[in-house]
């Protein structure tokens, strides 16, 4: 019977959910959760879906739209961890970006706490990006000792604190001062928390600064922009990061080793070349182009290097000598 249940779980989570409309998608997720955990509606715009398997629990916060766009079959982000790592997964989903500021969501977490739900697991990780990163940090207080990984989270959208953030003015009437409110304070009971951001994204960096706490480590991802989750997924380092968080092994040197994947990530390389061009740094741009051209087929970098070398031949700029000329 246990083997039959295991096969059933895998069959549920391996379903391809791409192309389903919102109602059909929710029904599929609810069916899997009802069979192997629980499904709980939290008002009109939120729901929770638990798939229970191992003693490590990954709690993710996602928009339904973001989960539906997941290149891995339009499935919730955490389902792959159930299949591949044998973890349990609790997904909190919102219809659009809500920052999960809803008393129905508060009540859901209150019930989980009252039932001792989080105490059933050896390790609990909260994860989210952007508005969901805010929620991951804020609701982690429900599971003291949890680990948190948040990508470019907001600390709060209370205009009395972050009136400088003009990206989400439509949320300024939403109360960020009541329960589960100011995300940095909610991390006080966490075992550890990790905040990722691009320092060139000024507003993200300002929010990250508000998360300065003894148990919080901030990791900079320069030249990546404002969509870090997709970048980490495409570089295939989001899963190793979460694994290291779960094992209490994520350190600055460890992240630096994983982050070397950016050397082969074309989006990052093009961003870096664009920054060097905007800052009028032809010497460094030529070094970058030569390095990239030596390792991969990159017509954009070849054209840029040709243009730089032409400008050098005309006496307009000075470039580093080629290795074969040195």
Mean pLDDT, rounded, for 168-189: 96
- In the sheet that holds 147-151, the strands lie side by side as 37-41, 46-51, 88-94, 56-63, 123-129, 147-151, 192-197, 216-220
| Domain 2-263 CATH class label | alpha beta
List, as one string, the DSSP characters of 139-174.
HGGGSTT-EEEEES--S---HHHHTT--TTGGGTTS
- pLDDT of 193 strictly over 50: yes
Q: What is the pLDDT of residue 2?
A: 46
Are the CB atoms for 193 and 146 separated by under 8 Å? no
The CA–CA distances, whole Å, from 117 to 82, 120, 289 equal 18, 6, 53
Handedness of CA 178, 100, 242, 146 (dihedral sign): positive
- pLDDT of 45 strictly over 60: yes
From 1-5, 123-127, 249-253, the region with the lowest mean pLDDT: 1-5
| Assigned token pair, 18 | 């791409």
CA distance linking residue 10 with residue 281, whole number of Å = 52
Q: What is the pLDDT of residue 322?
A: 85
| Assigned token pair, 34 | 């009802």
Q: What is the pLDDT of residue 134?
A: 98
From 9-18, 35-44, 203-212, 221-230, the region with the lowest mean pLDDT: 9-18
Considering the entire predicted model, what is its pTM? 0.94
Residue burial 85-112, b: 16+ Cβ < 10 Å; e: rest: bebbbbbbbbeebbbbbbebbbebbeeb
Going by C-alpha positions, the residue among 265, 318, 317, 310 that lies closest to residue 292 is 265
- pLDDT of 151 strictly over 90: yes
Question: How high is the mean pLDDT of the chain?
Answer: 95
Going by C-alpha positions, the residue among 148, 145, 142 that lies closest to residue 191 is 145
Q: Name the helix (H) or strand (E) containing 202.
A: helix 202-209
| Assigned token pair, 42 | 């939290």
Going by C-alpha positions, the residue among 125, 133, 54 that lies closest to residue 99 is 133
CA distance linking residue 52 with residue 69, whole number of Å = 24
The neighbouring-strand residues paired with 218 are 195
Q: Name the helix (H) or strand (E) containing 84.
A: helix 79-85
pLDDT band at 14 (very low <50, low <70, confident <90, very high): confident
In the block, tokens 């320092």 appear at 199
pLDDT band at 5 (very low <50, low <70, confident <90, very high): low
Residue burial 20-46, b: 16+ Cβ < 10 Å; e: rest: beeeebbebbbebbeebbebbebeebb
- Structural domain spans, the chain: 2-263, 266-313
Mean pLDDT, rounded, for 243-260: 97
Rg (CA), the chain: 22
* 266: exposed, middle or buried (Cβ count in 10 Å: 0-12, 13-18, 19+): middle
| Assigned token pair, 105 | 């969501």
Mean pLDDT, rounded, for 31-50: 96
* 325: exposed, middle or buried (Cβ count in 10 Å: 0-12, 13-18, 19+): exposed
Task: Convert the pLDDT of each residue in 309-326 to its tens digit.
Answer: 999 999 999 999 987 654
Q: What is the pLDDT of residue 85?
A: 95
Mean pLDDT, rounded, for 130-138: 98
């Amino acid at each position: 019977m246990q083997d039959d249940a295991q096969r059933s779980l895998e069959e549920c989570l391996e379903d391809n959910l791409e192309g389903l409309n919102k109602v059909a998608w929710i029904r599929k997720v609810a069916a899997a959760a009802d069979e192997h955990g629980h499904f709980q509606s939290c008002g009109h715009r939120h729901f929770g879906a638990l798939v229970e398997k191992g003693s490590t629990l990954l709690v993710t916060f996602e928009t339904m739209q973001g989960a539906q766009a997941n290149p891995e079959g339009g499935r919730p982000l955490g389902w792959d961890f159930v299949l591949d790592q044998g973890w349990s997964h609790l997904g909190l989903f919102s219809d659009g970006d809500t920052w999960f500021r809803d008393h129905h969501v508060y009540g859901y977490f209150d019930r989980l706490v009252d039932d001792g739900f989080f105490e059933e697991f050896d390790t609990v990780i909260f994860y989210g990006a952007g508005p969901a990163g805010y929620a991951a940090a804020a609701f982690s207080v429900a599971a003291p000792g949890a680990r948190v990984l948040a990508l470019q989270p907001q600390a709060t959208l209370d205009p009395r604190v972050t009136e400088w953030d003009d990206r989400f003015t439509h949320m300024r009437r939403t109360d960020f001062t009541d329960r589960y409110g100011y995300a940095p304070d909610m991390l006080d009971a966490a075992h550890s928390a990790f905040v990722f951001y691009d320092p060139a994204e000024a507003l993200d960096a300002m929010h990250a600064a508000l998360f300065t706490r003894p148990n919080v480590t901030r990791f900079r991802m320069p030249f990546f922009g404002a969509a870090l989750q997709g970048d980490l997924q495409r570089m295939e380092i989001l899963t190793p990061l979460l694994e290291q968080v779960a094992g209490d092994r994520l350190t600055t040197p460890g992240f630096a080793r994983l982050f070397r994947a950016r050397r082969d990530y074309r989006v990052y390389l093009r961003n870096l070349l664009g920054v060097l061009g905007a800052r009028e740094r032809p010497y460094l741009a030529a070094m970058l182009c030569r390095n990239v051209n030596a390792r991969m087929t990159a017509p954009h970098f070849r054209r840029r290097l040709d243009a730089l070398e032409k400008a050098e031949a005309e006496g307009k700029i000075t470039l580093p000598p080629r290795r074969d000329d040195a």
